[in-house]
Structure formats: structure tokens, C-alpha cells
Structure 1
Amino acid sequence: MTEISFGFIDRRVMAAVERVAASDPDPGDPFRGLYISDEVALRLSHGEGSADSDGRLQEVVRALGLDLLEAAVLAVCSATELNPRYGRLYAYLQDDVTRKLPSPRLVGQLLEGEGLTPADVMVAFDAGGRLRSLGALKLLGDAQTPLAERPIKIADRLAAVLLGGRMDESPQPTRLRLIDLPAHDPGRAEAVEMMAALLARPSHLPIVLAGPDADTLIATALGRPLVAVHVRDLGDKDVMAEAALISALEDRPIVFEGLEDVEPADRARTLRAIEARPERTVLAAPTRTAALALGERTVLLVEAGPPSFAERRQAWADLTGVADTDDVAAKFRLSMTQIIEAAEVARLSAVARGLETPERSDLDAGARQASSSKLGELAARLPPGYKWEDLVVPPKQTEQLQSISAYLRHRDRVLSDWGYERTVSRTQGLKVLFAGESGTGKTMGSQVIAAELGLEIFRVDLATTVSKYIGETEKNLDRIFGAAEGSNAILFFDEADALFGKRSETSDSHDRYANIEVAYLLQKMEGYPGAVILATNFRRNIDDAFIRRLDFVIDFPFPEKEDRKRIWQKVLPPEAPLADDIDLDFLAEKFKLSGGAIRNCSLAGAFEAADDDSPIGMRHLVRAVANEYGKQGRLTLEADFGSFHEVIKVGAKAAAGNGFR
């Protein structure tokens, strides 16, 4: 063989058909209708090949790196995809109208000659040969079918190319992921350049790039799109063959991902699969911890941190056309992939409203959507609906809360642009403690901060997170912080008293282990890039060593009379019908309630008034206060309720229905 084309295959098929027809012992066979006649086969065999098909065949042969014999085998096997007449001819040559796919034996018969025997051709079907290892061909049939008689099917992706289809229209891989070059420069030039330099040097050592956008950083370093394979599929021949075929046809180097999913029990198997590969293994990992899943195996590790503030700001500006993107870039520490997705959401949101350029609310909405995580499965999302004017706390506490908001808004500007990250040693996340009695504004304060910044806030109940079983608390915390990774959300840990205590006062092993749990929580807080707020009713339960590690500690005092009056004013909506006898001074002075309790009383009184079909009056609010006292285990003294004491007596409401008001 000196050339490979479909014209060459036509000539071989024609010669084979003529030989079979000439040797037909019974041209008048009465069962001729059950198979293809000699005349029909001869007529079909005189078809002509296509120059376009030949050109595409040569491109595939070059892409797959096939030799002359492998190219000829591929041409014979793919002919049935190009023209159905080949299927009828192959059925005729195999003396079975149902066998329209070639078998290794038929391919050998068609290609023998010029020094080649059918046995020589069989070598091309070896399981370790290029055609099958690339997944270009697959032998169908079961173990009962002789190997040489099994039908041969070419890969659908390969058929699409030979038929002239565009590569991106070919069937999508089932367990692979196609990674294109990013729509925007992913930044982190130092890591990209280091990766490119290492990939250019021949070595069999695995190379791992760890960090956000690891896959697109590798694609940028290579200047080519990638095909990603999960490390668990390293030993799956079908998946690896499909990846190899895509890699060859589309010039997509193979990169492996999923190191974060490797369990210790699977580590040895994964290492063996990596070491068995003839070429270098390139891996992408989301974090350094995930990159270390290979244990003590020597690897070349390139670390890429998250995009810098300047890189995020520039990407937002380039992708949305918005000039001032400092705010969204500072509040949402997104990966470059997330920014690209968020910018698209922001642009579409603006277009839907007839705007050419997104507004700040569009950017925030896109960023929140790109930040979505699985945190909602483990924590309760709090509605960030409150504003600063809704919060009633002393001026000192208001200023402290505003300082937290300012830190989260400007941290990248100060630490990065102003160079403070080189002069101070600290994490970029924020660790906060809110201390105060229940209902004094701890939760609302955190919601106000979230609302101002446009961030999501999730409430985690530490009372349900802490376990009496050793090691379970850490696992629960791992799940929470793992789910929060990349969410940019504020984490509000309520009921912190369930975990904290005086760490120095250890009397037994369980106390000592509680100290370990506290230290572990602090470690997770310091590793989280967003804000973590701990809420406690008893600051005295938290030792000074822990408090010194926090960035902000805010004490929420019990509201005084004037603050209680302001709270009463705010919790009675302007739309609500109020009776003329409402006396806020009396309510604020006589009833020492927290803000949360006052809100409860306002709502309970409103429902009672609605049931009476009357405006909200003092009798409704006073009865609600009495019920709140009962919940708190407090006595309803006449000295507190004064002239309204009769209203709260048992049966007073029923009497009111008969005229007692």
C-alpha cells in the first residue's frame, strides 16, 4: 500500500465482490431474496469515493498519528458511516445480510496483498494498539463471538468528523469535561508562567496546579483547551480511550481533576494508575490540601492563590463595561470563572430592563448567583432585609458595626492597593464576637451588615453542631466551612455557648477535648475568607485567650427606657391601625423588655386586635406583654402593669367581649 483513500478502499471492495460473484456456484438460487444478489453487489461496488471524505480522512490520520496500515483499517471501518452502500457490500462479502459492519477477518481479507497477510492486519486490532487505545474503534459482540468475527464500530465522535461535522457538534462526552480557553485573562501570571516552564521540560513527575481556576490556568499556560478526566476514572479503559480520542482530534491536552474526592483508602490505587501512564500526568486541584491527596508521592506543585483585588476589579470592568467596579470586586472574592459567569448574569439582567450597562445591583445579583453554594443544606439563610435605621442600639455599638461593614467593603483596597498586606500579618477573613442577652440585636446587627454589603448571611446553630461524640464536632464544622467555600457569605454562628467555656478550667478528658474543638473552630474561622460572627449570651464563658484572636468584640447591652421607646415606635408599622390610648412612654418605662421581646409583643397584640376586629390598643399590647412575661418566667406584678392589671387577669378578655374594655 502506498496510499490511503476511500477510492483505494473502493477498489479493494470491488475486487473482493468480483471474486465472490465469480465463485458463486448457483446464480439461480431461489433464496436470493434473503441476501444481496451478485448483480446488485457488483453494481454497488462500482461507486466512487469522495475527495472531501478523503481530505477529512487524511486530517484524522494525522491527528491520531496513525501509520499506513492503521489508516487503511480505519478507512475500511469508517466507510459504512459515509455511505450505506458499504454496509450492503460488507454484508454480501460476509454472506449475511445482517452483518453490515466489518469484522477483523473481513478487514484482513480486503487489505491483504502487497506483502500483507490477514494475520498482519490483525495486529492493528490489538487492545494496546493505537486505534483501540485511542477509542477510535470498538469491537462489539460478546465473549461467545469469535474475536475475528466481531463487528467493528468507529467512535461517534470520529464519525462526526469524517462526515464533515464541526467538532463542537459531535457527541458530548459523558464522564469528561471540556475546558475551553477562558473568556478573560485569569491573571496570576507568575503561576501561569511557572506552569508553562515546567510543562515545557520533559519529566515523568506528576505536576499539580492548586488554586481557584486551576483548570483554566493550566489551559492558559498551554495556550490550548483541555479535556478533564476525574482521577477516579484513571483505571477506566473506556473513559480514558474517549479522552485520548478527544485529545488527539481536538488538540486538547488531558488534565486530571477531583483530587479533593480521593479518600485515603483509594490513594494507593490512584497512585498506581498515575505511575502506569506512559506520559506525564497533569492535575488540577482547587486547594493545596486537595493537591496533597497523593500523600508522599513526589510531585511538582504550583500554587496559585485567588485572583487579586486588582485582577478581579479589572475583570469586572472588562466584562461588564462598568467603570467603577471596586465595590463588587471587594465584597465578592470570586474566582475568575465565577466572575465571568456573574458578569454574564449582570449583563443579561440589565438588558432585560432595557439598559446597556449593568447597575451596581446587577453586579451584586450576578455575584451572589455565582457564589451559590451548598450551604443552604446545612444552615438557615437569613433574609438581609433590615437597614441601619431599623437597628436600635447605643451609638458606640452602631459605630462598631459600621466598622465591620467598612472592613469588609475596603479590605482589599487597604491590604492590597495600600500595601498593608506586606506590613501586617493577618488573615483577610474577619472574626467577630457578638455578646449580649437574647433579643438585644445580635442577629439583626449581622443582617444589617449583610444587607448593606449585598451579601448573603447564613445562621448556623452551634447547639446542633456540637456533638458529645469525640471527633464528630470537627466533622460537622468541616462540612459547614466546606459548603461555605466560595460562597462569600457571612456565617452567623448562634448559640456559641454550646461550645465555648473557660479552656483553662479542664477537669476531665471531655473538657480537654472541648478545648480542642474550640481551637479547631478558630482554625476554620481564620481560614475562611469571609466574615464569621459568633453570638453568645454569656461573654464570661469565653476565655480571654480566644477573645484576643478575634478582630471585633461587640457587647449588646439591654436597652434602656429611651431605646425601648424607639423600639416600640419601630415595631408598630405606620400602616397598622392604632387606638388613641397607645402610651409608648408607659410601655417603655414599665416593661423592661429586650428588642426581640418587644417585637414579639407588637406582633401578638396585632393578631389579638385583628381577632377583635378593632385597632391595636393598649389592652392588646399589655396582654401580649403579660404573655411574654410568662414565657420568661417573670411575675406580672400590679406595680408594673398599674391600671392595666385588670386587663391581664384570667377571663378579662372574655369579659371584654361582653363590654369590658
Structure 2
Amino acid sequence: MIFERLAALERRIRAAVASRRATDPSPDDPFRGLYLSDEVIDALLDSARDPFAGYVDVPADGRLGRLASVACLSDVDVELLLVALAPDVDSRFEQFYGYLNDDVTRRRATAGLALRLCGLAEASSTGRSRLDRGSPLVRSGMVVVEDLDRPLLSRSLRVPDRVVAHLLGDDRPDPLLADFVTLPGEPVPLPGAERLARGIDRGVRLVYLREHPGGGAAELAVAALAQAGFPALLVDSARMTDAVAVVREALLRGAGVVVGSVDPSFSLDPLLHDSVPLVAFGSGAWEPRWTRVPPLQHEALQVPFDVRASLWRTSLEGRLAAGVDPAEVTAHFVLGPTQISRAASAAAVSALAEDGAVDVRHLRAGARSQNAGGLQRLARRIEPAVSWRDLVLPVPVTSLLQELAARARHRDRVIDEWRMRPGGGRGRGVTALFAGDSGTGKTMSAEVIAASLGLDLYTVNLATVVDKYVGETEKNLERIFVEAAGVNGVLLFDEADAIFGKRSEVRDAHDRYANIESAYLLQRMETFDGIAVLATNLRANLDDAFTRRLDVIVDFPLPDVPLRRNLWDRCLGDAVPRSSDVDLDFLAGSFELAGGHIRSAAVTAAYLAAAGDHVVGMVELIGAVAREYRKLGRLVGEREFGRYLDFATERLVG
């Protein structure tokens, strides 16, 4: 069809060439087009710039007809497109246009020549409007008007290579889009897709999805477009450099555009087109400044458990170790469909280094690999290396810790399936308070909980949070909460009383701003969707309003004698060589130390033994305890050290 239309164009050009020759004073001049003689000027003065004869309206069909339909091109637009297209499919037209332009260096059609070949006068406002910036041809990127410093009629017209390739039957995507546009895989059926598809079917051309952690907004958009009969183009808004090329590609493919994650400074106007459904998504609320067109809005909530389970099993079919259910192992991970696919691939790659079967360790490591790196700039990441058997705590305390882990593991069922969400804008988070003296196991317990869930532990560094300037502390905390919401990890606020302190009576400006900070934290903790642990040595310093918002409160007591003996035995471990004179009962009964201090004393004793090149004995252990007493500001006396007092004083003097 295109070449038949070009043949008709060629016939008009032959007529135009004949018309020009009839009035050309020097048709045989070999330098014509490179200079203007007096005769040429006289001929120009005597001739008019009338449209060339021979133009006939012929409706477009085939690919050209489909393109004209979706791009809203009129018959004149189609003819202008063909005139501009001709040199790209038939090189003779370069010479034709050079001759008709009276300039051998200008081998593309100018706007004036194109209008005349389409039977329109150069001064026709209708014709000229088809080539301005807001016209369907130019706005959709089908024709590029070049030489903008020239008058309109002498500006060159060019058809982008991608449009030429499409009209000739090539459907490969535009290489210009490779850096910021991807083609999605098979759509995933997600809740809400049917509602969005109905809107698109009925003419909605702008949809905004507010994405929640694990919501899979991009996948939801792709599913909705697919149900409405549109393939999708996924656009990275942060890297997009050419909106016109995106719209053009969507028109050529008959596709919709999915763009995210949009920020407040982004403009959606360049991507809007009556024939292209546009689905934008972001983590914030809709910003009217993005465009004046009202969107269909939808909340992209966390993907349901059954959909996540199906994705995990499909992605790892035939590669799982016997008895491993990936959906059950990763139920508490907040991941979208694409993240699950990538996590499954990472787990499979990790398993190749071993026996090839994907087990629990590989699954959890793959899921953690999808954590964004932003939180690591605000908090210290700890990869857990302890487990429940490493904890030496009273049974009631251990039970509370296990309850906390169970809340994190089963919150999808309780909150989503059983609909126990409290409402009022509250999040899906799990929060706990660990209170107790230094060294009683608060940080280690948080690490154990993270390990039992297969998550990383992120310890918030208060130096990066607290700021002397008003309002900056809240901003720093907000950045932490925002980053943590998209990370599968346990967030630990150590020494939490420093930032979660009590509100007080306002006596001056300092009190007022301190109360504002605490009030902000009270509200933000309620809307947090992750897992957070507040650890403090001074529970009395925390505001009472925080305790109402906590799911679990765990008090860590100082260990009694049996627990201290267990701690001494556990801290020395099996690999450390012990002397036969080591008396754990004496150590546990005589020295009232917390687990952290016992651990420190055991390590010190090991270093003393290594320095003396012998096994760990009571001499080293008593000396290490004496050093701990000095750090704690306690007196080294006979009441605690008894018959080992000489060992203690010798080590301290030494």
C-alpha cells in the first residue's frame, strides 16, 4: 500500500517537475541551485506559488491506515507523512526534492513543498496548522520539523527511522528507548485489574496507582492494560529523556504506557494522548500539578498471599528441595511480583553453588537480595548469626519473643484474611519494646528474631537522626521510616528513650519543639508497615502513649544464678580449651553480671590465655572478671572473689 501511494506521489512530482521546467529560464545550467541569476529572479517574480495539480484524496489502509486511525491523522496528515517519508524508502526522491527546492543540498521535502504537493497553498492556515507543534503529526512524533531557525515553509520534514521501519513491517522497538523503556512479560492477574480495565475500556486515558510496599503497581497496570486489550510499555520516569518517542512507540504498537515512580516535579502532559492509555504510579498521593487531566485513582495494596504463593511456586518449579514450600518460607516477606521473580532467580543461582536444590536458606537469601540499599545509608545493617538456641533467657521472656516473631510471620492472615486491621490509617507494622539493663540481651534478641524470620537487622544510628535544628530530626526519622517500609528487615532503635522520650509541660520553646518531635513519632509509629524494635535501659523515660501503640513489651531481667552458669558455659563455648580448675558454679554464684558482661569477660579470658600460650583457667577468668568490675566501677573485694582475690589483684596490678 505504501509503495502504491508513493507511485501516486511520484506522478504528482513528475507533473511538478514539468511545471517547473516550463518556467525555468536555464534548465540545463549545471550549477543551478547553487546560485541565483538575474533570469531566475525574474522568473520567480513572474510565477506564482500555486499548489501542484494532480492531488487526489485516497483513504489510507494497511499499516498506514491503522497508524492514521490511532494517531488521529487526517487524510492531509497522511499525505504529508508520505511526502516526508518518500526519500527514506526511495532514494530518487532526494534528487526530486533537491530539484524542486532549487537547492541540491536540501534533499528532503520542505514544509512549503509538502503543502503544494498535497494540493494546499503555502499560505493556507489549514495546511500550516498540520505542521505546528501541537498538530497530530508533530506531537505524536510521526514527523519531525527541522531547521526551526528558518521560516516555516523552508523547514525540512523528516520521518523518524522507527516510523519508517514500522510502515515497512519491522516491529522492533526504537533503540532510542533502550535506556528507559522495557517490554513486560506475561501479565499477572492481580486484584483491582478488572476495575481499571473497565475504566480504560470506557475511555479513561489516565490512571494513577498509589503503591504500597509489596503492591506491585507496575504489574497491576500491565494486567489492567492487557485486560483492556493493550500491550504495555514500562517507562522509568527518572531516566526518561524523550517523551515524544515513548508516545510514538505506543502508537505504533497500539500499546499503553506505564510510568513510575513519579515524583512531585514530574509532568505527565508530554505522555498524554487520546489513543494511548497512561498509567502512572508512585508512593505518594496524586499531585494535581502533574497534569490538569483528572485521573482514575486506585490503591495498589500488597499482593495477596495466594498470588505470591503461586508466583514463588511457578518461578521455582522443579528446582526446590524436597519438602520445601517457598510460599510458606517467605510468607512474611513483603515483595511484589517482579521482586518475587528476581528473588527466585537469585535463590536458584545461589543453590547452583551447592547441590542445586533450592532450600530455605536460598529462598530467604534471595528474598533479602531485593532489599533496596537506601536504608543502609541511614542504619547499620547486621546479618544475623545467632539463633534461638543461643539465647539464655527466662522462659517467659523467650515466650514473648516467640510471640513477636509469630506476629510478624502471620500478619497477612490476621490483618488481611481475617480483616483484623484496626482502621484509622494504621499500618500493618509490628512494634515491640525491649526494656532492661545493659547487657541483658536486648540487641541479641532482636538479632535472633530477625534470624528466625530470615531477615536482616538494621540498627538505627542516633548520630544520623538527632539534629540540633528544629524539624530536622523528624525529617531524618521520616527518611528512615520511608526506606524501612520497602525493606524486608527488622528495624532496631537502640537507646530509644533518646528520641522516644516523654512529653513534658511546656515552659519554653525547647519544650514545645521536643513535644512536637514526640507527637510526630507517636503518629508515625502507628502508620509504619514494617517490623520495629525499641530498646531502652530506661523504660520509665518513654512516653506512656508509646506503650499503647506497641504490640509486645519485653522486660529483660538480670540473670539469676542458673542462667548465669548457663551463660558462662555458653560464652566459653566448646572450642575454647578449658583447664580442669574452671569452676562455673563459683563464677555464676559469686558475680552478679549481665550476659553482656559475662560475654566480655569470657573473651578477655581467652585473650589472656592465648597471650600466655595455655588453656583458659580460673586465673584468666578471675582476672577478666576483675577487669569487668573495674569498667563497671565496682570494688574488687573478698566478699565476691573469696579465695581467688589474689588472682584478681595480681591481674589488676599487672
1:309 corresponds to: 305
2:285 to 277, 290, 309: 290
Per-residue deviation, 1:448: 0.8
Structure with greater proportional helix content: 1
Q: Please say if residues 136 and 245 of structure 1, whose CA atoms lie closer than 8 Å, have aligned partners that are also in contact.
A: yes
Give the 3-state SS of the residue equivalent to 1:75 in structure 2: helix
1:335 corresponds to: 336
Residue 133 (1) aligns with residue 139 (2): yes
1:432 corresponds to: 432
Q: Please say if residues 464 and 476 of structure 2, whose CA atoms lie closer than 8 Å, have aligned partners that are also in contact.
A: no
Per-residue deviation, 1:165: 2.9
Per-residue deviation, 1:258: 4.6
Give the 3-state SS of the residue equivalent to 1:439 in structure 2: coil
1:39 corresponds to: none
Structure 1 residue runs of 5 or longer lacking an equivalent are: 35-52, 655-661
Q: Deviations over 1:427-472 (max 9, x none)?
A: 5321100001111111111111111111122111346523343322
Q: Which amino acid aligns with 1:157?
A: R
Distance in 1 between residues matched to 2:2 and 2:598, nearest whole Å: 94
1:218 to 204, 217, 221: 221
Q: Which amino acid aligns with 2:449?
A: I
Q: Please say if residues 210 and 282 of structure 2, whose CA atoms lie closer than 8 Å, have aligned partners that are also in contact.
A: yes
Correspondence 1:320-331 to 2 at 5 A: 320-321=316-317, 324-331=325-332
Q: Deviations over 1:132-171 (max 9, x none)?
A: 111122223352x343333333234323424543233643
Correspondence 1:480-495 to 2 at 5 A: 480-495=480-495
Residue 165 (1) aligns with residue 167 (2): no
**C-alpha spacing 1:364/1:275, structure 2 compared with 1 (3 Å):** closer
Which deviates more from structure 2 when the two are superposed, residues 343-352 or residues 307-316? 343-352
Correspondence 1:181-192 to 2 at 5 A: 183-185=187-189, 187-188=190-191, 191-192=192-193
Which deviates more from structure 2 when the two are superposed, residues 576-585 or residues 444-453? 576-585
1:46 corresponds to: none
2:184 corresponds to: 180
Distance in 2 between residues matched to 1:596 and 1:151, nearest whole Å: 79
Distance in 2 between residues matched to 1:218 and 1:244, nearest whole Å: 17
Residue 103 (1) aligns with residue 107 (2): no
Q: Deviations over 1:69-90 (max 9, x none)?
A: 3222222323333355544554
1:605 corresponds to: 605
Per-residue deviation, 1:91: 4.4
Give the 3-state SS of the residue equivalent to 1:262 in structure 2: coil
**C-alpha spacing 1:548/1:57, structure 2 compared with 1 (3 Å):** closer
**C-alpha spacing 1:622/1:148, structure 2 compared with 1 (3 Å):** farther
Q: Please say if residues 490 and 532 of structure 2, whose CA atoms lie closer than 8 Å, have aligned partners that are also in contact.
A: yes
Q: Please say if residues 210 and 299 of structure 2, whose CA atoms lie closer than 8 Å, have aligned partners that are also in contact.
A: yes
Distance in 1 between residues matched to 2:652 and 2:299, nearest whole Å: 72
Distance in 2 between residues matched to 1:502 and 1:65, nearest whole Å: 64
1:43 corresponds to: none
Residue 421 (1) aligns with residue 420 (2): yes
Q: Please say if residues 330 and 413 of structure 1, whose CA atoms lie closer than 8 Å, have aligned partners that are also in contact.
A: no
Q: Deviations over 1:212-231 (max 9, x none)?
A: 33343233333223446788
User: How many residues end up aligned between the 2 structures?
Assistant: 614
Correspondence 1:61-460 to 2 at 5 A: 61-84=68-91, 86-87=93-94, 90-91=97-98, 93-94=100-101, 96=103, 98-108=105-115, 111=117, 115-120=119-124, 122-141=128-147, 143=149, 145-168=150-173, 170-172=175-177, 177-178=181-182, 180=184, 183-185=187-189, 187-188=190-191, 191-201=192-202, 207-211=207-211, 212-223=215-226, 224-227=230-233, 239-254=242-257, 257-258=260-261, 261-262=263-264, 284-287=280-283, 289-291=284-286, 300-321=296-317, 324-350=325-351, 355=356, 358-417=358-417, 419=418, 421=420, 428-460=428-460
**C-alpha spacing 1:422/1:550, structure 2 compared with 1 (3 Å):** closer
**C-alpha spacing 1:163/1:347, structure 2 compared with 1 (3 Å):** farther
Residue 521 (1) aligns with residue 521 (2): yes
Q: Which amino acid aligns with 2:255?
A: R
Q: Please say if residues 492 and 534 of structure 2, whose CA atoms lie closer than 8 Å, have aligned partners that are also in contact.
A: yes
Q: Which amino acid aligns with 2:195?
A: M
Per-residue deviation, 1:336: 3.0
Q: Please say if residues 6 and 54 of structure 1, whose CA atoms lie closer than 8 Å, have aligned partners that are also in contact.
A: no
Percent of pairs identical after alignment?
37
Distance in 2 between residues matched to 1:458 and 1:328, nearest whole Å: 21
Q: Please say if residues 456 and 488 of structure 1, whose CA atoms lie closer than 8 Å, have aligned partners that are also in contact.
A: yes
Which deviates more from structure 2 when the two are superposed, residues 84-93 or residues 441-450? 84-93
Give the 3-state SS of the residue equivalent to 1:157 in structure 2: helix
Which deviates more from structure 2 when the two are superposed, residues 591-600 or residues 23-32? 23-32
Give the 3-state SS of the residue equivalent to 1:167 in structure 2: coil
Q: Please say if residues 387 and 451 of structure 1, whose CA atoms lie closer than 8 Å, have aligned partners that are also in contact.
A: yes
User: What is the TM-score normalised by the length of structure 2?
Assistant: 0.80
2:41 corresponds to: none
Structure 2 residue runs of 5 or longer lacking an equivalent are: 36-59
What is the root-mean-square deviation of aligned Cα atoms in Å?
Answer: 4.2
Per-residue deviation, 1:19: 7.0
Distance in 1 between residues matched to 2:105 and 2:647, nearest whole Å: 94
Per-residue deviation, 1:62: 4.3
Q: Which amino acid aligns with 2:339?
A: Q
Q: Which amino acid aligns with 2:223?
A: T
Per-residue deviation, 1:125: 1.9
Q: Please say if residues 379 and 459 of structure 1, whose CA atoms lie closer than 8 Å, have aligned partners that are also in contact.
A: yes
Distance in 2 between residues matched to 1:91 and 1:635, nearest whole Å: 103
Q: Please say if residues 330 and 408 of structure 1, whose CA atoms lie closer than 8 Å, have aligned partners that are also in contact.
A: no
Q: Please say if residues 578 and 617 of structure 2, whose CA atoms lie closer than 8 Å, have aligned partners that are also in contact.
A: yes
Which deviates more from structure 2 when the two are superposed, residues 125-134 or residues 370-379? 370-379
**C-alpha spacing 1:494/1:465, structure 2 compared with 1 (3 Å):** same
